Amino acid sequence: MPPTNRRSLLQTASCGFGYLALQSLCQQAFATPATDSVPIKPCAKRVIFLCMSGGPAQMDTFDYKPQTGNAKHPGSVFPFKQYGQSGMWISDLMPEIAKHADRLCMINGMYCDTGNHAQSFLQLHTGERLRKRPSFGSWVTYGLGTENENLPGFVSLNSTKPSVYDSVFLPTHFAGTPLGINGEDMSQATIRDIHGSHLPPDAKRQQLDWIQAMNRDHFRDRAADSALEGVIESMELAFRMQSTAPEILDLSNETQETLQRYRVGKKLSVGTCKPTDFGRQCLLARRFAEAGVRFIELNHGGWDQHTHHRRDLQANCETVDAPIAALLQDLATRGLLDDTLVVWGGEFGRPGLTPEDGKDETGHNEKGFTFWLAGGGVKGGYVHGKTTETGSRAVEGKVHFRDLHATILHLLGLDHQTLSLHHEGRTHRLTGPEEAKVVHSLFA
């Protein structure tokens, strides 16, 4: 008897879609592209991506450049100290994250292809800067499936652009589920229409089985239509989410101490910085990770400090510092950090101020900036790469976005060269056709 695949299962199933609780197992078995290479031993099971859109100023956060008094050599305008046994240099703007210095794997040699926000943001999320391509989280769930059949494999909090969560030509059910679209007030975040109709659960199940039976008949003659297949699977997932997602979004069972550590409900609005409840994003990220969501992206904007650099950077750091530290601490305490890869960074960096010119503004710098990783099999207390004395460009241990993608996939047990999909006459990968390298020196 030939092996069953997801498509034939959908075509021949006769007991109703209520018995598709095996969907996640099918994803595991059939979604990952076949490879003849030696399997990669995974270190991480999931990713939490802390996306700081706008371009964080690396020289005033994690890439210390002492001022020399030379106008041509701008340096860090905020004080830095050394932390942990590693002696890692971290800005005074991040005192809570600094307490986790020995958990951080700092990459000071990041670079990318453009200093344009939209294009670089797209490249960070999809590997391409000019064309619409599947997002990073969609590629991960395409390769690994989900750990929880009642939740999506990919959740995007405070999604600012569809490129963050769009699956494009990957099957629809690998797209991210956005929460808090275009707004950082996560207190009202919910999944649209999650509670469905007014019918009781049994009646809802019968209604969906009837609809899915028609969908199955419609699909029988269109077995090559992956988009239709994705819609059918998404409807089934949406039904199962009704019993699970609302409980995760409800923070009423968290202690006041926990809410305070994450700064939930504390909204800061300074200068051009938007009011935000970033702490709620971090706490939800922990809860989604505990529930088995594979890829969780958090978004915090406002890092584009062209003017009022000191004021607005300080406000941004004050907003994200304590919640991220609380997230790292809880992941570690609950035994999740070892197999959860936390990633922090934005679409590029900034060139720093020139103290002697009296201006308080910065530009864009795609030639050298900082990301950091934690957990998920990376070295803690380790600094990789280096920028010039002025921080103008990466000169040692250079890591492109393609290399970062390849490295993260490797930590998840995926080969960036074989994780692919043939579409419109060519083979597509997250890392694209260009050369990408796995940065093994980051691994513990």
Higher pLDDT, 146 or 443: 443
Percent of the chain with pLDDT over 70: 74
CA distance 162 to 178: 9
Higher pLDDT, 318 or 356: 318
Overall average pLDDT of the 349-363 stretch? 83
Residue 126, φ and ψ in degrees, nearest 5: -130, -10
Residue 249, φ and ψ in degrees, nearest 5: -75, -15
pLDDT tens column, 100-119? 999 999 999 999 999 999 99
**Nearest CA among 72, 42, 28, 7 for reference residue 392:** 72
Q: Which of 165-174, 331-340, 345-354 is the most confident on average?
A: 331-340
Say what the pLDDT of residue 268 is.
Answer: 65
Residue 360, φ and ψ in degrees, nearest 5: -115, 60
Contact call for residues 131 and 220 (beta carbons, < 8 A): no
Contact call for residues 131 and 118 (beta carbons, < 8 A): no
Q: Is the pLDDT of residue 334 over 50?
A: yes
CA distance 258 to 120: 35
Kindly state the helix (H) or strand (E) to which residue 91 belongs, with its residue range.
strand 88-91
Say what the pLDDT of residue 242 is.
Answer: 66
Say what the pLDDT of residue 13 is.
Answer: 33
Q: Is 345 left (phi over 0), alpha (psi -120 to 50) or beta?
A: left
Q: Which residues of 223-256 are buried (b: 16+ CB within 10 A; e: fewer)?
A: eeebebbbebbbebbbbbbbebbeebbebeeeee
CA distance 442 to 397: 10
Say what the pLDDT of residue 211 is.
Answer: 66
User: Which domains are assigned to the chain?
Assistant: 24-195+242-442 (3.40.720.10)
Residue 371, φ and ψ in degrees, nearest 5: -125, 155
Instruction: Flag the least confident range among 78-87, 107-116, 223-232.
Output: 223-232
* Amino acid found at 53: S
Q: What long-range pairs does 79-84 form, CB within 8 A, spacing at least 24?
A: 84/381
Percent of the chain with pLDDT over 90: 59
Say what the pLDDT of residue 305 is.
Answer: 87
- pLDDT band at residue 247 under the 50/70/90 scheme: confident
- pLDDT band at residue 33 under the 50/70/90 scheme: very low
Instruction: Flag the least confident range among 37-51, 259-273, 327-341, 399-413.
Output: 259-273
* Amino acid found at 45: K
- The dihedral sign for the CA sequence 422, 423, 425, 426: negative
